[in-house]
Structure 1
Amino acid sequence: MNTPLANTAPALSAEQLVKRVDGPGGALTILDHVSFDVATGDTVAIVGVSGAGKSTLLGLLAGLDVPSEGRVLLENHDLSVLDEDGRAAVRADHVGFVFQSFHLVPSLTALENVMLPLELAGRDDARALAEDTLASVGLAERAGHYPRQMSGGEKQRVAIARAFVIEPRVLFADEPTGNLDQATGEHIIELLFELNRARGATLVLVTHDLELARRCDRVLHMAAGRIEREEHPATAGAA
Structure 2
Amino acid sequence: MPDDAKILVVDDDDAIRKFLRISLTASGYRVIEARDGEGALGKAATESPALVVLDLGLPDLDGREVVSRLRDWFTGPILILSVRSTEEEKVAVLDAGADDFVVKPFGVQELLARVRALLRARPGVPEAPTLDLGALKVDLAARTVTVNGREIGLTRKEFDLLALLVRSAGKVVTQRQLLADLWGEAHVHDTQYLRVYVGQIRAKLGDDPANPRFIRTEPGIGYRLLVGASDMPPSV
TM-score norm. by structure 1 comes to 0.30
Which structure has the higher relative contact order (CA within 8 Å, separation 6+)?
Answer: 1
> Which has more radius of gyration?
2
TM-score normalized with structure 2 length: 0.30
